[in-house]
Structure 1
Amino acid sequence: MFVVGVWLLFPLFITGPLFSEYKDVLFGQCEKNWWRVLLHVNNWVPFFEMCLGHLWYVSVDWQIYASLWIVPIVILRHKKLGFALLILVVLATSAMVAIQTRLYDYGPTAIYTDSNINSPERRDWLKKRVATVVLFTSNNSFGLV
């Protein structure tokens, strides 16, 4: 939240001929959507509507930890049941990632040096792929083992 606060105060210290042109591009989304970072729901909107787009990962991590906190407790109390639950979560989320990858024809990674990065297909990829929590849940769940 400190970063968002500094980002929102930054325009008070900047002036110049190009600032008025780029103010909305750089600061517009944060002026409207700063609260999404605070509530950790920044990843629920399309990438180009996020306040400080690189903070989507913090929202995803928080949502994963908020939803998986029960698994270690179950493992401590009932080992077999806990590990069965953990394996179920890993398999289910891995299957969901595989299904999404197949349905939307995703490549193995985003290539940001691609000359067609601004094409509608690539922008659509960024909108759908980045915001999903499921993509990282299996990795973090497997890390619990």
Structure 2
Amino acid sequence: IMPVLGLLMLIQVSIVRRMGYGPLYEFAVTKKIIEPCVDYWWTTLLHVQNYVNPLKVCVPTSWYLAVDLQLYLISPIILFGLLKKPRITYVFICTASLIGIIIIFIQSSLTEISPNYVHINLQMPASFYYTHMRYVPWLIGIILGYILHETTAWRSEVKFGLSRLSKVIVTCGWLFAILCTVEASLYFALTRPLWSLGVAWIIFACVSGYG
């Protein structure tokens, strides 16, 4: 990926600057794309652009490459732990996932980030690019891969009807999956009513002497 990324950086600082003109082009392209490549090209090549000047990334979409590489470098440690000490590693993964969720909750509360990571002032916050804001789904994927590896024989038995999950587990699993797919709709449907209920309780409690 490095040769392609390097070529894209060269194109941005050489050809792209000559592909348009005007005040909007100056702001959207020169300031946001070309100048970061001139000043911080090395962060992109080292794949640390999601932490070092994350709001001035040379190739804007390359932040994902940095996150992906950083998690890739960590993955052997997790996989080795699952191989040698699976129970301890399971506890570690669950704890790390919980910590990650708490970090995201605190960060979103302090910076007023919406579920789609757009800041209240319509600018993408630096935390959008941080690996520690995105590693929880990766850990879930690691666990899934390990479970699939460990249950290869059992899943073969399921195919031949020799073993089955309980209907309760299967039903709950599908209901949970469906609920997760409509979480955005649930958020937009409930966020204002729940916020209003919270404000209403504050007012009621205060005027009733419980504030």
After TM superposition, is the score higher than 0.5? yes
1:135 Cα deviation after fit: 1.7
Q: Distance in 2 between matches of 1:77 and 1:106?
A: 39
Q: Distance in 1 between matches of 2:68 and 2:115?
A: 21
Query: Residue 18 of structure 1 is aligned with which of 9, 14, 21?
Result: 21
| Aligned twin of 1:142 | 140
| Aligned twin of 1:114 | none
Q: Distance in 1 between matches of 2:130 and 2:75?
A: 16
- CA distance 1:106–1:24, shift in 2 (3 Å): closer
Q: Which has the larger radius of gyration?
A: 2
- CA distance 1:110–1:71, shift in 2 (3 Å): closer
Q: Does structure 1 residue 55 correspond to structure 2 residue 62? A: yes
The Cα offsets for residues 88-134 of structure 1, whole Å up to 9 and x where unpaired, read as 111111111111122222211146xxxxx9x8x222xx133322212
- CA distance 1:43–1:16, shift in 2 (3 Å): closer
- CA distance 1:109–1:80, shift in 2 (3 Å): same
| Aligned twin of 2:122 | 122
Q: TM-score, normalised by structure 2?
A: 0.54
| Aligned twin of 2:94 | 87
Q: Does structure 1 residue 4 correspond to structure 2 residue 6? A: yes
- CA distance 1:42–1:73, shift in 2 (3 Å): same
Which blocks of at least 5 consecutive residues in structure 2 are unaligned? 144-211
- CA distance 1:92–1:9, shift in 2 (3 Å): same
Runs of 4+ with deviation above 4 angstroms: 12-17
The Cα RMSD (Å) is: 2.7
The size of the alignment, in residue pairs, is 134
Which blocks of at least 5 consecutive residues in structure 1 are unaligned? 112-116
- Structure 2 counterpart SS, 1:42: coil
